[in-house]
Structures are given as C-alpha cells and as structure tokens.
C-alpha cells in the first residue's frame, strides 16, 4: 500500500520515523516543517508491519506543468522498520514500482536526494540508477577513548585546544533567545566573511523552531573567553549520532581557534551521552578543500557520501534543458541541470 504524508500529518510522520530501524534528525517532521523551498512529503510503501519511507521536498518547475523532488539540507534517503539488507528483494522491488508510479502521477521529472553515509541505502536506490559519488565526510568515532582520539589530532589542532584550556575558555550549552541572538550574530559575521549565499543564512524564528521539538536533541554551544562569546555551533543529536549543523567564529578570535576547542568539547559531550559518532561533514561541495583539511585535523575516519540523482522522465528532462539552452553534458556538479544558473 502507498501512503503519502504531508506536514499536516504530524503524528503519523513522527510515528513512522520512530519505528525506523535507522533514522537521523534530518528525517523528522520538525526538520521538514522548517523547509520553505517546496512541499515536504513522506512517501511510504508498506505491507503489514513492514515499510520503506523516504522524505522529499516537492517543488514546482517554474513556467511548466511539471514538478521535481529534492531533499532538505542534510543527510536523508530512505528509512525502514528493518535494516535495508533485511528486506526481501520482492518488497524492495514493489517499493521501486510504487515510487515510479507516484512520480508519473505527480508529473515529477527528477529526484535529488542526499543519502545518509551511515545507513546502507544505496543498494535499494541503485536499481533506479543515478547514484552519484560526491566525495567523503569526516567522522569522529566516539566509542574510542578520548585520549586515543586526541592522539589523532593534527599538531596545530591539539596545540590550539591545549591553549584554550590554558586560557580558561568555557563552553556554555544554552537555548535562550539571547543565546540565539549571540549565535546569529557570530554565524552571520562568518557567512559574510566567506561570502555565503542566502541558502546558508537563517533567522531567529528558524533557529528557535529548530530547538522546539522532542524528535531530536538540538543544542546551541558557545565558547566564551570570560564573558565574551568567541564561537558558536548548533549540533543535532539522534540515534547515537551528533550532526555538526551550523558553526561560526568571531573575526577577532580566529587566531585563538575557538572552533577547535568546541569540536573537542562536543566530542566529550557525545561520550558522556553514550553516543557513537560525531559527523563533522566534508568540505564545501564535499571537495577536499581548506575546510576539509580543517576537519581532517581531528580524525582519520572517512565515509563515502553519495547523492541520488534520478531522472524519472528523460524526454521531459531533455526538453527542459533545451528550453533553457543548456547542454545535457554541461561540466558542472549540479542536479537537476534545468535549475542551474551561473
């Protein structure tokens, strides 16, 4: 049986996610309720107690009668009440057929979904085609002793953390409106410094709503030098995983590297909670750039990150490209190409 939930089906959405053998903060109803780029959906195929569900953001393709499906800013992909390897091939085949029919019924031309590096989702999606190797993410293993972890740090990173201890930096865990305003000021300054687009900028209402849930544990952690906030981060915690979501540092404190102190401190918090992994993410666009190198100074553990770029209707897809004067072999890492603009 096919079922499609929207944001109006809050309790049902939460119920399916909670029944999943593996899920993350990014699958939740609350996280999807914050997305304003389209219509959040949870597509479900189920038989008896078994199900496969995958969240999407349905978007209209401007000036056409067509739509496409995307995913929220995070690691998503399909979830199930069983691990994917435990589902029968027959069940997975019927899921694929039902999703293809849904795409046809909804005039959906493409799917873009960020898969979850910790979950074995790709064998299910490979039968559709369109699995794309994006790069790798860097992960801290919280199951090893903290002293063993610190031996993996780059020398400059460990030196910065030791200096933070020596100078008496403190980490505060707080969610007041004042704390949110401090975070937004630091984060906004950071985004200005790196020339980030509006896609990476958030307002107070978004951050407050991010915390207003019991579906995951969202924490705002700020590093202080005395009474002065230097750097701040938001992490999302669920199912044994800490996701590094947003982070920023004051320009005046960059030389002290308070963000390195934060990462080390968050790993300690994770251990105290009995968590397994702290996902630092990758470089910009999952490239091995300066941001990647910064994260790599904490850990050697790397996981492959893949996206799912499925063309459901190749004829319409090519027509949309032609209408915009875009070659389908354009050498840019962007999908779907008909939404690309320089």
226 in the Ramachandran plot: left (φ > 0), alpha (ψ -120 to 50) or beta? left
Query: If you compute the radius of gyration of the chain from its CA atoms, what whole number of angstroms results?
Result: 21
Indicate if 138-303 has the same CATH topology as 2-129+312-339: yes
For the segment(s) 138-303, the CATH number from 3.40.50.410, 3.40.630.30, 3.30.420.40, 1.20.1250.20 is: 3.40.630.30
For 41-73, the pLDDT digits (tens) are 999 999 999 999 999 999 999 999 999 999 999
3-state secondary structure labels for all residues of 236-267: EEECCEEEEEEEEECHHHHHHCHHHHHHHHHH
| Percentage of the residues of the chain whose pLDDT score is greater than 70 | 100
Q: Is the pLDDT of residue 209 over 90?
A: yes
H helix or E strand, kind and range, residue 163: helix 155-167
Do 50 and 80 contact (CB within 8 A), yes or no? yes
The model's pLDDT over 252-282, given as tens digits with 9 standing for 90+, comes to 999 999 999 999 999 999 999 999 999 999 9
Residues 176-189 have pLDDT tens digits of 999 999 999 999 99
Element (H, E) at 51: strand 50-60
Q: Is the pLDDT reported for residue 194 higher than 90? A: no
Q: CA-CA distance, 315 to 212, in Å (whole number)?
A: 43
Give the predicted TM-score (pTM) of the model: 0.94
Q: Which CATH class is domain 2-129+312-339?
A: alpha beta
pLDDT given for residue 13 in this prediction: 99
- What pLDDT score does 68 carry? 99
Report domain extents, the chain. 2-129+312-339, 138-303
Which pLDDT score, from 0 to 100, does residue 287 have? Answer: 81
Specify the range with the lowest mean pLDDT, choosing from 100-114, 192-206, 250-264: 192-206
Query: Distance between the two ends of the chain, CA-based, in angstroms?
Result: 42
pLDDT > 90 fraction of the chain, expressed in percent and rounded: 90
């Amino acid at each position: 049986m096919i079922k499609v939930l929207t944001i109006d089906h809050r309790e049902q959405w939460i119920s399916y996610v909670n029944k999943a053998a593996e899920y993350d903060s990014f699958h939740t109803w609350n996280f999807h309720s914050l997305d304003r780029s389209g219509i959040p959906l949870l597509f479900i195929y189920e038989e008896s107690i078994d199900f496969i569900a995958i969240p999407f953001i349905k978007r209209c393709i401007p000036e056409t009668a067509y739509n496409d499906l995307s995913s929220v800013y995070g690691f998503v992909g399909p979830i199930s009440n069983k691990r994917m390897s435990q589902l029968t091939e027959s069940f997975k085949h019927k899921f694929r057929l039902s999703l293809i029919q849904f795409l046809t019924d909804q005039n959906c031309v493409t799917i873009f979904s960020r898969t979850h590096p910790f979950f074995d989702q790709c064998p299910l999606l490979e039968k559709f085609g369109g699995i794309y190797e994006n790069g790798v993410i860097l992960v801290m293993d919280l199951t090893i002793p903290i002293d063993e972890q610190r031996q993996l740090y780059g020398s400059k990173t460990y030196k910065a953390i030791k200096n933070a201890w020596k100078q008496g930096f403190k980490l505060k865990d707080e969610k007041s409106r004042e704390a949110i305003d401090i975070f937004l000021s630091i984060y906004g300054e950071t985004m200005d410094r790196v020339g980030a687009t509006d896609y990476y900028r958030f307002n107070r209402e978004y951050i407050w709503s991010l915390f207003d849930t019991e579906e995951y544990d969202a924490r705002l952690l700020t590093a202080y030098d005395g009474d002065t906030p230097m750097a701040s981060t938001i992490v999302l915690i669920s199912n044994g995983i800490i996701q590094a979501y947003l982070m920023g540092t004051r320009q005046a404190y960059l030389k002290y590297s308070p963000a390195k102190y934060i990462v080390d401190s968050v790993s300690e918090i994770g251990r105290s909670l009995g968590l397994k992994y702290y996902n630092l993410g990758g470089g910009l666009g999952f490239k091995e750039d300066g941001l990647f190198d910064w994260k790599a100074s904490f850990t050697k553990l790397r996981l492959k990150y893949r996206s799912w770029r499925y063309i459901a209707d190749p004829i319409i897809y090519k027509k949309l490209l032609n209408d915009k004067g875009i070659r389908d072999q354009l050498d840019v890492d962007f999908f779907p190409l008909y939404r690309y603009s320089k």
